[in-house]
């Protein structure tokens, strides 16, 4: 990964903004775009807004957030107040359901932004609000375009590069982000067309195998197997809505993923990287599953937070995703820990506790499925969807097909085919 000059970096940041609007969101004439961002990078947000308008967006609305204020709210407000969804927020949700704006989420927060917050209080407030928010989210499931990206906030950059300060740390993180999203001297849009084509080739190979089970082994103690939903599909890279509109939900992305059969897995998964969750870091941990549900969790750092996470609701103790990422991914090649799941999950193989993806059901591409119907077919549904990394240099994954054949999927941490 090269260190860029100021002039080259500025040029590539502008390319990044264009890439996000053109390939991430695939903004089309007449669309409404909603952007959620922190206060760290107003100049970059302005670039993205302009690129959206150049693609004939009808309107672009930015909603800013600032974690220190959120932290004060968690400190001083009651659970009842925190968990109340106000009438104007409900109206915003109703508007989103009706108009389905294209949405961009820009992450730049300090990984330790909410350190010291009462996590149990936060969990109770989230559970209370989620009961109101969930029906609106269910109505929008797989019906709108969205994308998550990152830009370097000062605290985040200094966390990743502890020996650097201020602008120097920010520039170093910019260089890393631009590398991971394939923004280089070439046309990033063309780079992503090639990248998406590679991921879709792997996706097709996995779908054609008609796998029913995955078996994981690694020398760090991972010993795990999980059942897959019969005839389930795999997702990756660019995705398409039922009306044919295409978008890239994650930038960067290196994964090919599916939702396993909820409640049908056994064994131990050892995390290979720290997990940033609710503004705090969970580190050096593993999770044990019995009869499809989490039976044990152990963490040397933030054990109680991990315990709270898997008890957020009755289904947060089950898996919603398994994702395959080669150990030699560009993100892993940086030899960096980003302390941000968007990046770290794309460094190596991972799984997610909580909600699964309805779009991985073949039937979902034939007709509209309700969340309840998807649950009956095996998709997990939960208030959370939390990815944690399990990929290692020696990770071995074997797939079992519908015919009982054993197929080597990953060998020594990377694709075996």
Taking each helix axis as running N to C, give the angle between helix 67-76 and helix 119-140, from 0 to 180 degrees, rounded to the nearest 10: 120
Confidence tier at 141 by pLDDT (50, 70, 90): confident
Domain parsing of the chain, residue ranges? 6-180, 209-235+251-415
Residue 345 DSSP class: T
**pLDDT in the model for residue 103:** 98
pLDDT of residue 242: 86
Contact residues for 405 (Cβ-Cβ < 8 A; gap 6+) = none
Main-chain dihedrals φ then ψ at residue 185, nearest 5 degrees: -70, -15
Residue 222: pLDDT band (50, 70, 90) is very high
Res. 105 pLDDT band, cuts 50 70 90: very high
- Is residue 210 classed as helix, strand or coil in its secondary structure? coil
Mean pLDDT of 236-245: 93
Which range has highest mean pLDDT (196-200, 279-283, 342-346)?
Answer: 196-200
Contact present, 236 and 260 (Cβ < 8 Å): no
Is pLDDT above 90 for 169?
yes
* pLDDT 10s digits, 34-64: 999 999 889 999 999 999 999 999 999 999 9
Q: Residue with structure tokens 């994650």? A: 250
Residues 6+ apart with CB under 8 A from 70: 113, 114
- What is the per-residue pLDDT for 279? 81
Confidence band of 282 (pLDDT split at 50, 70, 90): very high
Mean pLDDT of the chain: 96
CA proximity to 219, closest of 270, 265, 290, 266? 270
Per-residue pLDDT for 368 more than 90?
Answer: no
Region 158-163 average pLDDT: 96
Q: Is the pLDDT of residue 2 over 80?
A: no
Q: Is the pLDDT of residue 407 over 80?
A: yes
More confident residue, 12 or 1: 12
Give residue-wise pLDDT tens across range 314-329.
999 999 999 999 999 9
Secondary structure class of 227 (helix, strand, coil): strand
Separation in Å, CA 38 to CA 16, 21, 68, 156 = 17, 18, 11, 12
Q: How large is the C-alpha radius of gyration of the chain?
A: 21
Residue 157 has pLDDT above 80, yes or no: yes
Question: How many angstroms separate the CA atoms of 308 and 286, rounded?
Answer: 15
**CATH number of this structure's domain 6-180:** 3.40.1830.10
| pLDDT value at 365 more than 90 | no
Give percent of the chain above pLDDT 70: 100
**337-359, pLDDT tens digit by residue?**
999 989 999 999 999 999 999 99
Is it the case that residue 1 has pLDDT exceeding 90?
no
CA distance 241 to 256: 18
pLDDT grade for 119, boundaries at 50, 70 and 90:
confident
């Amino acid at each position: 990964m090269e260190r860029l000059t100021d002039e080259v970096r500025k040029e590539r940041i502008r390319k990044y903004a264009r890439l996000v609007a053109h390939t991430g969101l695939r903004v089309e004439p007449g669309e409404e775009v909603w952007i959620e961002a922190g206060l760290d990078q107003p100049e970059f947000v302005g670039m993205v807004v302009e690129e959206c308008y150049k693609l004939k967006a009808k309107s672009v609305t930015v909603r800013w957030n600032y974690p220190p204020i959120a932290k004060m709210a968690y400190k001083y407000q009651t659970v009842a107040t925190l968990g109340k969804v106000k009438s104007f927020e409900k109206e915003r949700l109703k508007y989103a359901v009706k108009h389905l704006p294209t949405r961009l989420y820009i992450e730049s927060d300090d990984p330790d932004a909410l350190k010291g917050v009462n996590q149990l209080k936060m969990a109770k407030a989230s559970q209370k609000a989620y009961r109101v928010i969930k029906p609106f989210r269910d109505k929008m499931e797989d019906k709108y375009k969205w994308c998550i990206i990152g830009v370097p906030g000062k605290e985040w950059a200094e966390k990743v590069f502890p020996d650097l300060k201020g602008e120097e740390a920010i520039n170093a993180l910019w260089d890393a982000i631009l590398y991971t999203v394939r923004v280089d001297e070439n046309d990033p849009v063309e780079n992503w067309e090639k990248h998406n084509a590679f991921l879709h080739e792997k996706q097709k190979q996995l779908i054609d195998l008609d796998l029913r089970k995955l078996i994981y082994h690694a020398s760090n103690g991972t010993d795990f197997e999980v059942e897959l939903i019969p005839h389930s599909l795999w997702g990756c890279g660019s995705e398409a809505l039922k009306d044919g509109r295409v978008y890239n939900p994650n930038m960067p992305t290196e994964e090919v993923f599916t939702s396993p059969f909820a409640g049908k897995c056994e064994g131990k998964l050892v995390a290979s990287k720290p997990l940033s969750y609710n503004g705090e870091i969970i580190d050096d941990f593993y999770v044990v599953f019995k009869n499809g549900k989490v039976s044990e969790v152990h963490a040397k750092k933030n054990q109680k937070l991990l315990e709270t996470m898997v008890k957020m609701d009755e289904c947060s103790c089950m898996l919603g995703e398994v994702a395959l990422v080669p150990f030699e991914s560009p993100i892993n090649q940086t030899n960096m820990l980003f302390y941000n799941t968007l990046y770290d999950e794309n460094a190596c193989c991972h799984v997610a506790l909580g909600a699964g993806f309805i779009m991985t059901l073949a039937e979902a591409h034939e007709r509209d499925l309700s969340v309840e119907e998807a649950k009956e077919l095996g998709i997990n549904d939960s208030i959370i969807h939390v990815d944690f990394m399990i990929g290692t240099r020696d990770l071995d994954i074997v797939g079992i097909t519908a015919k009982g054949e054993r197929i080597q999927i990953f060998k020594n941490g990377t694709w075996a085919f």
